Amino acid sequence: MALIETNNLVKVYVEGGVETRALDGASLTINDGEFLAITGASGSGKSTLLQMLGCLDRQTSGEYLFEGKEVSSYSDTELAHIRNEKLGFVFQAFNLLPRLSVLDNVMLPLVYAGVSKKERVQRSEAMIELVGLADRRNYQAAQLSGGQKQRVAIARALVNNPKIIFADEPTGNLDSKSGAVVLEFLQMLNDQGRTLVVVTHELYVAEAARRTVHIVDGRIDSDKAVAHRRIIAKDGFVK
Amino acid sequence: MLGIVIGILSIMVVMSLGQGAQELVLGEFQKFGPNNVFILPGRQPSGPSSVAGTLLSDSLTQKDLADLENPANVPEAVGVVPIVFGQQPIVYASQTYTKMIMGSSQDMAQLFSLTMSEGRFFDSSDVADHASVAVLGATIAKDLFGGNNPVGQKIRINNQMMQVVGVLQAQGAGSFIDFDQATIAPYPVVQDSILGIKYFQRIVVEGASSAGLPALMKDVTSLLRYNHNISDPSKDDFSLQTQASIAQSVGIVTSILTVLLASIAAISLVVGGVGIMNIMLVSVTERTREIGLRKSLGATSGNILLQFLAEAAALTILGGLAGVAGGIGLSWCISFAVNYWWGIQFPFVISISGIILGVGVSSALGLIFGIFPAWQASRKSPIEALRYE
């Protein structure tokens, strides 16, 4: 069974009486352990597709099966639990709570999962160490650099041990050096068996993945394996 | 937070000062004593303009006084004090002040709880002997004599030489009768030699108890009607007042005060409320992105509401405590300042209704405007809230 399967997924936004078909019949299958890059020009609908897949919004029509079950049949609360337990997110704008410490930011998903305080701290500290920020754990998020913030965001996405991590332009706000570190992390996670879906409009990010799906006008234009995969740790990162 | 504090604080200060002012005004009426009946000459005043008419009426005579003093006529009376008064020039050395001169009997000191700082009050023999003696109020004594002791000195009031026998202790401003500015003398000399009148402007009859007051008033009324040959009660040329009826007749003043204070409190409530409303709305608007993020990390709408409820509650409780504390402190400072600079014994009151109203309304507003927008924001899809600007 595929982890994710969509059939003819449509998302229509209505704003000021004007309809925008952000997704116009996208059909896609994602299996466990994949590293998928969704590419496309800005406005092509790639971010909308990620939001649909990440259960952050509901489709207008079409099917979205997550672990074989139609997502639109879940209630808002059930979707919140799915996001909490099975999905992790990394955003372009990091989306940390600036006044909270690094540790508190990473612990947030565990708070909503009802994990005990002791275990929260333990698991969060392990993740912070993994992304190499152990010495910054009590810093306020606002005090960190962009690259550090995104590593905190990755730690936060990992802390609830999700089935799949969605990243929306994770290197978009970073310089090439920080971007390389982030991408290297993502590749490492995938090598450990984690499923990753990354949205990007940049070729070098897509080349770090194993498979790319190219979106044009809300439809899937091409879906193919990456021929010459760039291993960041070995090849470095060329922007 | 500041909005809540200021909202509660302003309501509390306004209500506390209002209650203090009311106590101050009502306290003045308490000084008339609950068992005293004031007899006024002339018709019952129907309004402020006709009060002046009662001063010119000459219906209360020496005979009335003598008959009232007779226990056979008014058995419940334990004291009868006549009063005459007028503004007269008071001269000592080269200084002249035109101030109130009051004529009364020796019992006036006890009736108005007057105490002496120098010398003595005049006594019954001074009244009987038509003695030219006077007691000075604290302020007029200071004005005329500076730091010197006035007792034994002679002053001239409307060309009548009077010997000062005592000085009253300062009463403080804000009293119904300003004894500090007044000169008090036995009524015979004031009537004959200073004011040149034969009648009394007030006669105060002191009753033994408040229970006996109706009987006392009935006896006084029938005695005066008999003396004045009045058979038709609507033609009475005198009227009676008690502490209760005076409080009632000036009730319009206190009710105006109450209405004024209530409207000021209402305005400060609205101002404070709008402040709280704005703060809560702004904070939720600012934090819609945070709500989106928390939801994308797995928070349910219930988690979000609970968080904002707890925050709004903490904010209003802390703000409420600070506001109440500040309100009490500021009220105390104001009453202290009024005492200090104006010498008015302004009572310091902690307005319980002010606390309840202020804290109640602020908390309600804080909770409503803290939770309602959060509830709206929590209903958005996570991505909608995340994109919110």
Give the per-residue pLDDT at B159: 84
Fill in the DSSP letter of residue B47: S
Per-residue model confidence as pLDDT tens digits over A118-159: 999 999 999 999 888 999 999 999 999 988 999 999 999 999
Q: Note every long-range contact of B343-348, with CB atoms under 8 Å and residues 24 or more positions apart, other chains counting.
A: B343/B170, B343/B172, B343/B173, B343/B174, B344/B24, B344/B172, B344/B173, B344/B174, B345/B24, B345/B172, B345/B174, B346/B20, B346/B21, B346/B24, B347/B20, B347/B23, B347/B24, B347/B27, B348/B16, B348/B20
Q: What average pLDDT does range A184-208 have in this prediction? A: 91
Q: B356: how many CB neighbours lie within 10 A of its CB?
A: 12
Residues of A in contact with B301 (CB under 8 A): 76-77, 80
pLDDT band of A166, cuts 50, 70, 90: very high
With a pLDDT cut of 70, the percent of chain A lying above it is 98
Nearest CA to CA, how far is B315 from chain A (Å)? Answer: 18
Q: Taking 70 as the threshold, does the pLDDT of residue A224 lie above it?
A: yes
Rounded Cα gap, residues A169 and A200, in angstroms:
5
Q: What average pLDDT does range A103-115 have in this prediction? A: 93
- The DSSP string of A73-86 is GS-HHHHHHHHHHH
Residues of B in contact with A58 (CB under 8 A): 381
Nearest CA to CA, how far is B371 from chain A (Å)? Answer: 19
Fill in the DSSP letter of residue A140: B
Rounded Cα gap, residues A216 and A150, in angstroms:
28
Per run of 10 residues, the mean pLDDT along chain B (length 389 residues) is 74 78 72 78 62 65 86 84 90 87 88 86 89 90 87 89 90 68 90 88 85 85 87 81 72 73 74 73 79 91 87 82 86 83 74 79 79 80 79
Rounded Cα gap, residues A41 and A216, in angstroms:
7
pLDDT band of A87, cuts 50, 70, 90: very high
Nearest CA to CA, how far is A53 from chain B (Å)? Answer: 12
Per-residue model confidence as pLDDT tens digits over A23-66: 999 999 999 999 999 999 888 999 899 999 999 999 999 999 99
Do A102 and A138 form a contact (C-beta atoms < 8 A)? yes
Is the CB of B301 less than 8 angstroms away from the CB of A57?
no
Higher per-residue confidence, B305 vs A239: B305
Q: Does B381 touch chain A (CB under 8 A)?
A: yes
CA proximity to A150, closest of A205, A111, A83, A210: A205
Taking CA atoms, B267 is separated from A130, B103, B305, B357, in Å, by 58, 48, 31, 13
Give the per-residue pLDDT at B133: 92
Q: What are A53's two structure tokens?
A: 């897949």
Rounded Cα gap, residues A158 and B94, in angstroms:
99
Q: What are A162's two structure tokens?
A: 């999700």
CB-closest option in B301, B384, B386 to A76:
B301
Q: Does B382 touch chain A (CB under 8 A)?
A: yes
Crossing angle of helices B251-286 and B288-296, rounded to 10°: 50
Cα nearest neighbour of B380 on chain A: A57
Q: What is the largest CA-CA distance in chain B?
A: 101
Q: Which residues contact A46 (CB under 8 A, 6 or more apart)?
A: A38, A39, A40, A199, A201, A215
Rounded Cα gap, residues B56 and B42, in angstroms:
8
**CA angle centred on B37, ends B35 and B41, rounded to 5°:** 170
Average pLDDT, chain A: 91
Give the per-residue pLDDT at B1: 65
Nearest CA to CA, how far is B273 from chain A (Å)? Answer: 28
> Strand pairing of A195-199 and A35-39?
parallel
Burial status of residue A224 (CB atoms within 10 A of its CB: 0-12, 13-18, 19 or more): exposed
CA proximity to A159, closest of A130, A193, A199: A130
Give the per-residue pLDDT at B173: 55
Q: How far separated are the first and last CA of chain A, in Å rounded?
A: 37
SS3 of residue B34 by DSSP: coil
CA proximity to B174, closest of B20, B340, B24: B24
Give the per-residue pLDDT at B45: 56
Beta carbon pairs, A and B, within 8 Å: 56
Q: Does B306 touch chain A (CB under 8 A)?
A: no
Phi, psi (rounded to 5 degrees) for B85: -155, 160
Give the per-residue pLDDT at A90: 92
Give the per-residue pLDDT at B52: 57
Q: What average pLDDT does range A71-77 have in this prediction? A: 92
pLDDT band of A8, cuts 50, 70, 90: very high
> Strand pairing of A211-216 and B160-168?
unpaired
Do A26 and A200 form a contact (C-beta atoms < 8 A)? no
SS3 of residue B89 by DSSP: strand
Residues of A in contact with B297 (CB under 8 A): 83-84, 89, 108-109, 112, 156
CA proximity to B323, closest of B364, B355, B348: B355
Q: Does B146 touch chain A (CB under 8 A)?
A: no
Residues of A with CB under 8 A from a CB of B: 51, 54, 56-58, 76-77, 80-81, 83-85, 89, 91, 95, 97, 108-109, 112-113, 156, 160
Rounded Cα gap, residues A192 and A172, in angstroms:
24
Do B201 and B60 form a contact (C-beta atoms < 8 A)? yes
Taking CA atoms, B309 is separated from B305, B306, B312, B365, B366, in Å, by 6, 5, 5, 12, 10
Residues of B in contact with A160 (CB under 8 A): 298
